[in-house]
Structures are given as C-alpha cells and as structure tokens.
C-alpha cells in the first residue's frame, strides 16, 4: 500500500471523509511502517474514528474509571488511555525521521505546532506544557499526541477536539491525569469549524513549513 519514489522530499496526505475503524487503521499504520523501504514516500493520514478508547503501551487499567460500551484497544504508542471519536481530528504521522534529520523532540514539536497554529487561526490562545505533552487552553486540554518510533520511522500522532462528545473522556483519566478537563473548539467559538475546514488548514500549515517540496492530497 506504500508508494516509492527517489525524491525523499515528497509527502502524501490521505484524508478520509467517513469515520474509520481504529483497529483497522492501527494495523494499517503498522503494516506501512514495518514494510516501508528507504525510498517509501512519507504519509500523513487525516481522519475521524468511531468512538474508541486506546490504551498506551504502558497504560494502567485503573485509568479507565467507568466501564462502558466504548471498545478499548491496546496500542503500542506512548502515553496512557485516551478517547477518539467523531468530531475529533486525528492525524497519523508516517514519517522517516532519519531522512528528515529529526529527533523525537522535533516530531513532538511539529505535532504540537500544527495544533497551536490551527487554534491561533481562530484567535484561541493555547499553549503547551513541558511536563505534559499536548495543547491546552485555560488549563483544559484540547489536543493530545502520542507516537511510536520503529527503526527511525514514526506512526500514531495527534488528536484535536473539534466538536466531539466529551462524555467518553469522562469515563477515564485522560492521558493518565486524574481530573484533567477536556475542551473543544465548539466550547470556545460560536460555531466550530468543520472537519474539512480544519484539515484544509492543516494542509496549508504543512505547505508553509517547506519541509516537503511536493505534497499530494488524496481524498479517500
């Protein structure tokens, strides 16, 4: 499913209009990363999931506070438990860090900076924390991130709350922090942007960084 090219400065952005099954995309990410070659083009996947709780590699079961009908999937990313679902932008970064000459900190900064830029576009004052990765507004978390690096290649990524139902977060300690309150664009604006609007802006941000010379967007 991967594309090869001698031009390492290419990026394919895949965007899904329909809600996607988490396990299916998790397995697809691993398959892409485990089988990619030196000349495989980097990809960024933009999508929304059906409601799911995902547990990090060292996640503690006690952070799931209230049993519910939301499925729980064990993953291999860093971090603790979080929620994904409709109304949340998920971005998966399938990047060759060695080729980009990035360290893990560069990848984390890139993910956080995308979310900060999107929020600033709507005049929302947001910030990051050194000891708690993610993006925050008035001590409430609006954006999360977690990655897995295998042989210098990354997968997993970010989750940014647009107009999602926050009740899923209320069944857990989000990212392992008891009492952490979540917030959405829809709580901060009269009208939340659409998924298409947010992803268009996300693509614009990446184009402005001049990391990749050529970017191809594929709507799935």
Active site residues: 175
Closest C-alpha to 160, from 191, 180, 189, 136? 136
Q: Residue 70: phi, psi to the nearest 5? A: -75, 125
- Which residue matches tokens 């614009």? 204
Helices (H), the chain: 22-35, 97-100, 104-121, 185-188, 195-209
Annotated binding site for substrate: 77-84, 144-146, 157-159
H or E stretch covering 160: strand 153-161
H or E stretch including 85? none
Which residue positions form the known binding site?
77-84, 144-146, 157-159
Question: Rounded to an integer, what distance in angstroms lies between the CA atom of residue 101 and that of residue 217?
Answer: 23
**Running DSSP on this structure, what letter comes out for residue 7?**
-
Q: Are the C-beta atoms of residues 184 and 162 closer than 8 Å to each other?
A: yes
């Amino acid at each position: 499913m991967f594309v090869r090219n001698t031009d390492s400065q290419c990026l394919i952005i895949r965007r899904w209009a329909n809600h996607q099954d988490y396990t299916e995309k998790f397995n697809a990410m691993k398959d892409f990363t485990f089988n990619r070659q030196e000349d495989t083009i980097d990809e960024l996947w933009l999508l929304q999931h059906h409601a799911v709780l995902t547990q990090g590699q060292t996640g503690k079961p006690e952070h799931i506070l209230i049993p519910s009908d939301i499925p729980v999937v064990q993953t291999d990313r860093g971090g603790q438990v979080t929620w994904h679902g409709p109304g949340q932008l998920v971005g998966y970064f399938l990047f060759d860090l060695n080729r980009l000459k990035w360290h893990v900190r560069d990848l984390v900064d890139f993910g956080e900076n995308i979310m900060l830029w999107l929020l600033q576009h709507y005049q929302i004052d947001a910030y990051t924390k050194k000891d708690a990765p993610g993006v925050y507004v008035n001590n409430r978390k609006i954006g999360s991130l977690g990655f897995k690096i295998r042989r210098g290649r990354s997968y997993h990524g970010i989750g940014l709350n647009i107009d999602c139902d926050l009740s899923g977060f209320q069944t857990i300690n989000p990212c392992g922090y008891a009492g952490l309150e979540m917030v959405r664009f829809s709580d901060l604006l009269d009208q939340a942007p659409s998924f298409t609007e947010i992803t268009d802006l996300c693509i614009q941000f990446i184009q402005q960084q001049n990391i990749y010379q050529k970017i191809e967007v594929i709507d799935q």
